[in-house]
Structure 1
Amino acid sequence: MSSQPVPGSWKYLPAEIRTSILTLLVQESESLASFATVSPEWQSMVGHRTFSQITLTLNDIEDFDRYTCRNRALVRFIRLSLSLRSYELDDKSSIGQSKSFYSTLSRWEPTGTLVLAISIDQAPSDLWCRSAYCSLSGNLGSNQPRKLVLLGNFHRTDEDPDWPPRFPTSKLAEGLAHASQGLEQLSVAYVVDASPFPQACGTAPLEWPDLTSLTLTSCLFGPDTSAASIDDMIEQAAEVARRMPKLEVVELWNVRPGLAAAFIYRFPGPSRPAEIAWRGTWEYGPSPFVVRAWEAVALGRGGCNITPIVREILDGDLVESDCDAIPQLKFLTEVAKSTSIGGVDWSEKWDDYEAGHCREAVVCE
């Protein structure tokens, strides 16, 4: 036989009124710990309020797993606030703490939507790095992005990267293919490789009706890769380009110390010959199959055959960083120019502030 609530007691109130009272309490009170001891009902309400949104600093990460072990299902939003000290190349303490945080999250069982927001407060001595990000344009007629630039880390070959490789790259490429359909300009450097991008585009009948320029990096561009493999990748890119009716420029490139290479296609307009250029630090030239594939792209736009192909051999001894190679590769799009990397003379700062210091920038214009 169940006992009836005593008149005037908490449980005597209708459930709707109890919920309204508890909601008001948790909204108006700064400290909720004492409320959680009143009853299981109060504890449940306070728990949802306390753990639904969490703000962390690097100092909180060590205890994060222990404090949330029994309430993970309640967490819906995590704000990680990072206050960076003045940058030092060999200081990896922040990286280690961040790895610990992500490792903890990876062990959580999925229980619903979880949003992670990361805010970064730079040290005053590093404010010069802000110019490494392209500015946002406010004169667009639409709220939709027209230009997307993804700049990833530029790791030196003589150092192990601090972060694990990005896997699976096919999934990243597939996501990029779908997300870029409404863009006019797309440039991705060291985030998604150009190699899986054509395959990802081939999984669905995608079209890019407004895309005028496409710039991607590819780790296949290197002297250790066979010419046939490079040809295959560039030819597959041409197949994708045929679904971009306004395409004017394609740039596929790669740079690391001692190595630089770029394949550049340009469509100057109807009734005019298209252009292909290859510049690199080793002997290579697009095969006739590759040339015909890109001629088909130009002819489909009302252009003419490819003009004589430009081939230039660069001196690898002069390539120590991206800033050394970019002027020699003679890019056509602004993303590869010094202005798009903030106007910073990276050749002077490479030893102390390599381009990867800026981590990953996403710019939409």
Structure 2
Amino acid sequence: MPSISLGNWGGLPREIRLLILKALMQDGCKLSHLATVSREWQIDLERHNFARIKLTTSRIGDFSSMVHRNRVLVRYIWFCLELDDYDCTTCAPCRQALTDDEIDKALAISDTDHCPITASFQKLLSILSTWEPRGDLILDISIYSLSDSDHWFKYLTFMPDTPSAEIPTGGGMEPITLREAYHDIQHGWYAGVRRLAPPVEAIEKVFFEVMEVEPFDSAEQESQWWEQLPSVPVVTGLLFRQQSRRRWKPPALARLFARFPRLQEVHYEPWREWDRMQIPTDKYFEYFFDSLQRFNSHIKRLTVFENFNQQYPAYMQLYQSGVELRGCVSFRNPAPAVSRMAALASLKLEHLAASFIVDAGRFFEIEPAWAWPNLTSLVLTSKSLLPDEDPAKIEAVLQAAAAAAMKMPRLETMEIWNGRRGVAALFQYQALCRQEQARIVWRATWRLALERCAIQAWEAVMHQYAGRKLDLVQEQLDGAVVKSHGDAIHMLRLSHPVIRPISLWQIQREQEALEGVPIVGDSYDYEPRTSPRI
């Protein structure tokens, strides 16, 4: 075998060169200067560097020239609308000391020179509108302030969408890190433990609605602005993840979706409302789902996950002097009209996962003419899946689901689940086509004895589509280890993701940061101009 000079890079086998390159990519080192090693490395590094782009408002002016030669390599754009930083004077503005206009200004998301939201959208979509459609391109939109994690919400993180294999295991928060990073008595943290609940105004700050105060004078003006944005055929997937706690108006999103004529997949993770705004927001969601089924027939896969934290409702139940209740229930009931509109939107889909924003019991109140010719997978939540619920109600939901499945000729998987602290439950139907059989799995923190009528309903589904055998499987989980709905999702092992993997990690991380802090009821003492003590 001929000897290989240490300086002769080309003398190494290609497999070895690629292994070295891969190791460097995973090492986290700066890769740009490595492109000079060889033409081979330049090609591979550009493919790696340009596949995933983080784009902030400060860089959007250079975006077109930055990717001009390599835009065909771009597969994912994380569009970060990074809002202005803020200090302690506005992290929880005092309602008693300010007028309503001053409060709105302190809480609002401003269209500033630092983060010109409308101009940034206009510029980005104008650039992308010139790209030729080629393969898939995901646009991931986040809106946040880096200051959000400097005050009351130390555990917040702002990260790109990340494959499961690259996410840290567990919450990733060592006790020593909590003690050092989360020691801020002014904002309720002492040696890694939250001792003081955040004020209502602090929660309102991070959950404020985008474009609520400015730059538009009316809803009609805002609607006209969205509709004048250019068409962008290159985008095929959209992500709005739960790390953006600030709220996009569902009608605005519907108009944005219409700018993408090749849009095939949407992942939308809004947060629930914390006060009486839930009723008008549900009206917005009716419009959102209605617009999807009327104007966005090209969408094939839709995932909507309404996130929540079980502690926030208790914080929001007290307002100003503590006398006026804000009407924030611990667990809200999904609006029947929203569930119905989601069902209508699903008639044209191949996959739907709708968690907490709809309820399976209402979703399956179907019309005789409804049919799902393309649907292969359906994932829904049901508030009836609780250990203390009347079993007859659970049976009714499962039978209604079977009746709907009779109208889904391509159905491979249907999952109905629920999760919260101490509770996890999953009903799963899987059609195993190659084996000409199907399987029902009940995986939960309690056992459920399925009645014969429910089993027969699902046997009818199996027989209608050429199945021969229906297997029943029961698995019991330990409710003591379910600290949040995030833990429930992890333990239930659903066949299809109901939330992005990085979002699930963030939910578990938040719960880990709050672990040991009791869920506060409405019986604690309230001190005016201070937060409820825990």
| Common topology (TM > 0.5) | yes
Match of 1:329 in 2: 492
| Alignment CA distance shift 1:353-1:148 (3 Å) | farther
Shift of 1:100: 10
**2:305–2:355 CA contact under 8 A, matched in 1:** yes
Contact 1:270 1:301 in 2 (8 A): no
* Residue in structure 2 matched with residue 259 of structure 1 by the alignment: 423
Match of 1:160 among 314, 317, 328: 314
> What SS does the aligned partner of 1:150 have?
strand
Secondary structure, aligned partner of 2:347: coil
Matches within 5 A, 1:59-70: 62-63=100-101
Query: How far did residue 302 of structure 1 move?
Result: 1.1
SS in 2 for 1:264: strand
Aligned partners of 2:297 and 2:391: how far apart in 1?
43
- Indicate the residue corresponding to 2:439 in structure 1: 275
Q: CA deviation at 1:186?
A: 0.2
Partner of 1:187: 353
How many residue pairs match? The answer is 263
Structure 1 stretches of at least 4 aligned residues deviating more than 6 Å after TM superposition:
97-102, 111-114, 165-168
2:423 and 2:482 in contact (8 A); partners too: yes
Q: Work out which structure has the larger RCO, using CA pairs closer than 8 Å and 6 or more positions apart in sequence.
A: 1
Separation in 1, partners of 2:361, 2:402: 12
Q: Where does 1:295-306 land on structure 2 (aligned, <5 Å)?
A: 295-306=459-470
SS at 1:267 equivalent: strand
**Cα distance, 1:113 vs. partner?**
9.6
SS in 2 for 1:195: helix
Q: State the alpha-carbon separation in 2 of the partners of residues 139 and 100 from structure 1.
A: 28
Asked if the contact 1:275–1:306 (Cα under 8 Å) also holds between the matched residues in 2, the reply is: yes
| Unaligned ranges ≥5, structure 2 | 1-83, 85-89, 94-98, 103-117, 121-142, 154-197, 214-218, 227-240, 245-259, 266-295, 317-326, 516-534
With over 3 angstroms needed to count, the CA separation of the structure-2 counterparts of 1:98 and 1:345, relative to structure 1, is closer
Alignment check: 8 A CA contact 1:157 1:256 kept: no
CA contact (8 A) 2:350 2:377 kept: yes
Tell me, in whole angstroms, the C-alpha distance in 2 between the residues paired with 1:128 and 1:169: 21
TM-score by length of 2: 0.42
* Counterpart Cα distance in 1 of 2:434 and 2:483: 39
1:250 aligned partner: 414
Structure 1 residue 326 displacement after superposition: 2.5
Alignment of 1:237 onto 2:398: no
Q: For 2:505, which of 344, 357, 363 is the aligned residue? A: 344
The 8 Å contact of residues 154 and 190 in structure 1, kept in 2 or not, is answered as no
Contact map agreement 2:486 2:504 (CA 8 A) in 1: no
What is the alpha-carbon distance in structure 1 between the residues aligned to residue 483 and residue 402 of structure 2? 31
Instruction: Establish whether residue 218 from structure 1 lines up as the match of residue 382 from structure 2.
Output: yes
SS at match of 1:334: coil
Shift of residue 189 of structure 1?
0.9
Residues 164 and 150 of structure 1: CA distance in aligned 2, closer, same or farther (over 3 Å) = farther
Aligned residue runs from structure 1 range 63-82, under 5 A: 63=101
Residue 252 to residue 167, structure 1, CA distance change in 2 (3 Å): closer
Look up the equivalent residue of 1:321 and give its one-letter code: S
Quickly say closer, same or farther: Cα 1:317–1:302, change in 2 above 3 A: same
- Identity rate of aligned residues, in percent? 28
Greater C-alpha Rg: 1
Q: Is the 8 A contact 1:256 1:322 kept in 2?
A: yes
Correspondence list, 1:34-45, <5 A: none
Query: For the residues of structure 1 that align with 2:144 and 2:420, how far apart are their CA atoms?
Result: 30
Match of 2:298 among 136, 144, 157: 144
- CA distance in 2 between counterparts of 1:257 and 1:280 reads 13
Question: Which piece of structure 1 moves more, 204-213 or 148-157?
Answer: 148-157
CA RMSD of aligned residues (A): 4.5
Secondary structure of the structure 2 residue equivalent to 1:247 = coil
SS of aligned partner of 2:360: coil
Aligned counterparts of 2:200 and 2:480: Cα–Cα separation in 1? 30
Q: Which amino acid aligns with 1:288?
A: R
CA distance in 1, matches of 2:422, 2:264: 40
Question: CA 1:292/1:116 → structure 2, altered by over 3 Å: closer, same or farther?
Answer: farther
Q: What letter is aligned with 1:145?
A: I
C-alpha contact (below 8 Å) 1:188/1:215 kept by paired residues: yes
- The match for 1:16 is none
**CA separation of 1:113 and 1:216: change in aligned 2, threshold 3 A:** farther
Distance 1:140 1:196 in 2: 26
Aligned-pair distance for 1:305?
A: 2.9
Is 1:198 matched with 2:364? yes
